[in-house]
Amino acid sequence: MKMPKITMKDDTLALLKNPYRFISSRSKDLGKDVFETRIFMQKTYCMIGREAAELFYNPNYFIRNGASPEAMRATLFGKGGLQGLDGAEHTHRKIMFMSLMTEENAGELKHLFTEKLRHYLKHWSLKEQISLYDEFQKVLTETICAWAGIPLDDEEKVRRTKEIVSMFDSAGSKGPAHFMSRLSRKNAEDWIENIVNDLRSDGYEPLIKTPIEVIIWHRDMNEELLKPHTAAVEILNLIRPVVAISVYLVFIAHALHSNPDCYEKLMMGDEEYALNFIHEVRRYYPFFPSVMARVREDFTWRDIEFKKGSRAILDLYGTNNDPRLWDSPHSFWPERFESAAVDEYNFVPQGGGHPVKGHRCPGEFFTVELMKTALNFFLYEMDYEVPEQNLDIEWSRLPAIPQSRFVISNVTQKTIFVRTTVSQIEISEFF
Ligand code: HEM
């Protein structure tokens, strides 16, 4: 069978205009999980669905080296980091990265995050209104830098927050915003590279290491330290995505506001329901639209010929919203996770497959834990109002967020709450 082709004209503009729905709508029209087109002037296989995800994450068929466009490497990912590695070199460095994702480290991160939220809450309550997207970016930058061992004085906070945000929030923009994103990466890499050089300068490798020191003193497969620039890219691979969780935190607020019945249920204190709510936020709302790879060698799948060196794009958002995998995918319904048979390839908001053996996001555990912390904070520690605003999601933007960035007003510290679960009792000790 021949690969289904709808057209060989370049579809880059169509994809950029509709990054979350281009692949799913074209694939629905064709009735195929894989179709061929041209993106950025190159032959590209667009893939969607569980089986396609399983294929995409098989390293025998796809590699990552040189897969992402230069514009993404110069802004979002950086050059020389995990995203572009393959095989043993990738596994070796990924194991180092995963060694940071422990329960203990997550506990410390959550503790710092809660402290910062409580500190910021006092400022928010003095203001008429605040933009949650902007405020969470500041809270998360301060949290992750404190956790990772990166000094950040008051003067630097604003500047570094802007740089980190610009790397993920403007990477997909056009014109000046995109160039600001490139400049921000360059400045942030210089900043972190200086820290790397400073910490290496006396040649003393500490026995007990902060997270950034784990990266700074990591040795590659040839027993060599990473080049300062590469170490900076990997440290930013830790910092930038944690700050990007601000997108999910805005979506938590959006989901609470749009689904009052969920809010009521969450207030009952059922922790399993709370976790399902968070998974549903990650499934239902858009964030990372897709991931890219290159075909390793010619191969045939379901009679379709994949040509060596061609690009492949797996639609993550489309797979999370595939009606063959998820009933009524466009309804927000946390209860679906009570019975959903979730596996490595059907629920892929942070990529699929195995996090050590492949490119699946190493930060999924931290993401869920920080989302849980923020959800508890919304429920049990703060009261606020949601004034009239445009909460429609900007689907053509990367990342997609509500038009208004989610504004809240009349923020106050909550003083009365129901003490039903262990986590709430812990919270009550604060007062
Ligand atoms: C905001 C929540 C997050 C989302 C939506 C997200 C999403 C993703 C996605 C889609 C990938 C690509 C998977 C692939 O290439 O197949 C990825 C990779 C990655 N993420 Fe995350 N991520 C998030 C949070 C985090 C956190 C908190 C960290 C670090 C603490 C992190 C670090 C990374 C790294 C280093 C990679 C590259 C992994 C590799 O290529 O092996 N991410 N993430």
The residue whose C-alpha atom lies closest to atom 28 belonging to ligand 1 is 363
Q: Which atom of ligand 1 sits closest to the CA of residue 247?
A: 1
d(CA 31, CA 26): 8
Centre of ligand 1 to C-alpha 355, Å, is: 10
**What one-character-per-residue DSSP string does 283-304 give?**
HHS-S--EEEEEESS-EEETTE
Q: Which atom of ligand 1 sits closest to the CA of residue 234?
A: 35
Which of 350, 359, 365 gets mutated to test ligand 1 (max ligand atoms within 8 A of its CB)? 350
Residues 169-223 have pLDDT tens digits of 998 888 899 999 999 999 999 999 999 999 999 889 999 999 999 999 999 999 9
Q: Which atom of ligand 1 sits closest to the CA of residue 316?
A: 10
- The number of distinct structural domains making up the chain is 1
Residue 428, pLDDT score = 36
Centre of ligand 1 to C-alpha 288, Å, is: 9
Percent of the chain surpassing pLDDT 70: 94
Residue 426, pLDDT score = 43
The residue whose C-alpha atom lies closest to atom 43 belonging to ligand 1 is 361
For residues 57-72, average pLDDT: 96
Write the CATH number for 95: 1.10.630.10
What's the number of CA atoms in the CB half-sphere (13 Å) around residue 118?
Answer: 13
Residues 91-100 have pLDDT tens digits of 999 999 999 9
Q: Which atom of ligand 1 sits closest to the CA of residue 358?
A: 41
Q: Which atom of ligand 1 sits closest to the CA of residue 366?
A: 27
Q: Rounded to the nearest 5 degrees, what angle is found at the Cα of 57, between the Cα atoms of 401 and 181? A: 35
Q: Which atom of ligand 1 sits closest to the CA of residue 367?
A: 27
Centre of ligand 1 to C-alpha 34, Å, is: 24
Residues with a CB atom less than 6 Å from ligand 1: 82-83, 94, 97, 237-238, 241-242, 244-245, 248, 287-288, 291, 316, 349-351, 359-363, 366-367
SS3 content of the chain, % helix, strand, coil (to 5): 50, 15, 35
Residue 174, pLDDT score = 83
Residues 156-181 have pLDDT tens digits of 999 999 999 999 999 888 889 999 99
Which of 218, 239, 281, 361 gets mutated to test ligand 1 (max ligand atoms within 8 A of its CB)? 361
Name the residue range of residue 229's domain: 5-428
Closest CA to 299 of 45, 90, 27: 45
Residue 9, pLDDT score = 80
Percent of the chain surpassing pLDDT 90: 90
Burial class from Cβ neighbours inside 10 Å (0-12, 13-18, 19+) for residue 416 reads exposed
Asked whether the predicted pLDDT for residue 61 surpasses 90, the reply is yes
Centre of ligand 1 to C-alpha 116, Å, is: 23
